[in-house]
Amino acid sequence: MDVLKTAILEMCRKRKDKSFCPSEVVRQLYPEDWRLFMEEVRESMMELYLQGKIRVSQKGIPIDPNQIPKGPLRISKPK
């Protein structure tokens, strides 16, 4: 498993039932250059989502896993 996937799952564990933004993951890992990793963290997020390991939502509604999401997203543990 890659670093970003591990970091996403670890943040889910720490946050318990609270959601978080994908940028929080890369800001923690790469505080100076976090913007450079946004595309990669979103790709890792979608892979985990498709595997059912996390929940990805927008405005509290789970996103369609077959669509490339646009706009702000939140990650949380699956329900």
pLDDT of residue 67: 86
Domain total in the chain: 1
pLDDT of residue 69: 83
pLDDT of residue 79: 81
pTM, whole model, 2 decimals? 0.93
The pLDDT tens digits for 3-53 are 999 999 999 999 998 999 999 999 999 999 999 999 999 999 999 999 999
CATH number for 42? 1.10.10.10
pLDDT of residue 1: 64
- Do the beta carbons of residue 54 and residue 41 sit within 8 Å? no
CB atoms within 10 A of CB 76: 18
Residues 6 or more apart in contact with residue 3 via CB below 8 angstroms: 29
Domain residues for the domain of 66 are 3-76
